[in-house]
Chain A
């Protein structure tokens, strides 16, 4: 791949110098002056950032807009996420009587969670566009839950709204359809091989593998597409690229599954970096300790454990004992959970259990049991047999726990016991293992979304970035419901920049 990349770049340079005719005949190395197709704005990726960029590029009158998506479905992570969207001063919030929120209040919260590493000017710009992004969605037909606006982790105000079905798909499908109606063209199964730059270092277009079938790099055929005004990278994060993940953050255990779609592998970001784009904060990768190994993606586990962490306990299948404060923070719990291993190093998924009879009709329980990512067991004996836990120790753990609940104290782990409940069968039991969730790092852009060259700190001409592929915005940790916000608003800002630059 690197050979072909450098060859293409060499080819582009030579072609500009008029020497292309002297090149050996290699299938992938057509002269840079020969294009298969020409558009004005080319968008890479079709999640929130890509869809918003494409729609707004069209609305800015930038001409022919083409969105390329490598997978067989539109939407990337955005299509499968939880559908949370932070909007200060949203109509539902105002109707709830919350008058004291503002973009600045949101930024204040984000600066705290960013731990000194977030970009205040960028976050401010994004927050100030929040209401505009909300209206863009509503106008496109997106339905949000009626009268639903709540305070989510790390926010000081209730300002997070949620889509009707609780998934970002409610937004991506509508933005896609709006774009289609307004003349945006979308193509699936188009994998970006490389950018083509001219001798002045300006991005002219891309080499694309058309008809690509993920994840087989040999599928499809190469075509070259020219982009007259801009190439927008909106290709998402890289949590599914195991080698890169391990290289930038070795503390992320390779056994960790992810909440992301399988295509979140980061090659567009890497191609941009190969042409000089500045990477920032690549090692800042967020994990959630609320994952279940018995379902894919984000799943139901997080919701189920909102009962489990409070009312129940987590036990090791190896010892039959508790091993952590179930209510500690993400990092503390993740670390404790991952110490549960068989002798060969493979995960010994710990269990979380709570009383079935306290929640038989709760949505979280019904869904989890239906989809077999949690089980109802009628006795400790049955539990021990099903999950291969030492029974005597398990019995002792339960007896000890119930005694602690009476006294409202946890001498072993110092857990806050206000919500703790005495355990008795039947139980709801699930298995847990942390999951990798979000890349805070990526390509460094300026305020307008221009991708910066690490050698000059100046924009790489005609190369723009929006969404999770960019980095340095949130700093150390991102707050829930702010990625949707960032992606949609940067998709409004970048086309304005392109118009100004053109």
Chain B
């Protein structure tokens, strides 16, 4: 875990042009996030325990990023209540995958109703 965090720190320090989290081609047809590049160098198994085809649950995200309520939202919010990490609709009861996808763009669950507040994640 420590190694992962150190590489994450290095990655963020080095990455001036690309925004952390931009979706880029990483391997063949597979896309991934720029801030996860160091993970791809170690192979898919960092997240997909056992097999690249295997279902990944939130634990893969939480290991590095922490629980949903602890993650600060850095972009400007439309209004205070519209904080997707402390959502008045779901709070702790939301999977990371409800709004984020690793290998593709994804419309966050909030945008099903609040269509002008949240774009692709």
Contacts and interface: CB of A to CB of B under 8 A. Distances in A.
A169 B88 contact: yes
A73 B113 contact: no
Which secondary structure dominates chain B's binding surface?
A: loop
Interface in B72-121: 78, 81, 87-95, 97-98, 109, 111-117
Contacts of B97: 72, 189, 213
B98 A72 contact: yes
Interface residues of B, number: 23
A364 to B, nearest CB: 15
A186 B58 CA distance: 13
A169 B113 contact: no
Interface size class on chain A is: 35 or more
B89 to A, nearest CB: 3
A73 B98 contact: yes
Q: Which of B91, B114, B115 has the most CB of A within 10 A?
A: B91
Q: Which of B78, B81, B98 has the most CB of A within 10 A?
A: B98
A372 B116 contact: yes
Contact of A72 (B55, B81, B95, B113): B95
Contacts of A79: 89-90, 93
Given A173-B88, A296-B113, A74 B93 contact: yes
B88 A170 contact: yes
Nearest to A81: B89
Nearest to B90: A73
A170 B89 CA distance: 7
A371 B93 contact: no
A295 interface: yes
A253 to B, nearest CB: 21
Q: Which of A73, A211, A296, A371 has the most CB of B within 10 A?
A: A73
Contact of B113 (A165, A172, A219, A297): A297
Contact of A167 (B89, B93, B98, B117): B89
A210 B55 CA distance: 9
B90 A169 contact: yes
Contact of B55 (A73, A220, A370): A220
B113 A80 contact: yes
Interface in A363-394: 370-373
Interface in A39-84: 46, 71-75, 79-80
A72 B89 CA distance: 13
A295 B112 contact: no
Interface in A283-336: 294-299
7 contacts: A72-B109, A167-B88, A169-B90, A173-B88, A189-B95, A219-B55, A220-B55
Given A173-B91, A186-B93, 5 more contacts: A46-B93, A72-B109, A173-B92, A176-B91, A262-B112
Interface of A: 46, 71-75, 79-80, 165, 167, 169-170, 172-173, 176-177, 180, 186, 188-189, 210-211, 213, 219-221, 261-262, 294-299, 370-373
Interface of B: 55, 57, 78, 81, 87-95, 97-98, 109, 111-117
A-B complex: 5 closest residue pairs judged by Cβ atoms: A74-B93, A211-B55, A169-B89, A297-B113, A72-B98
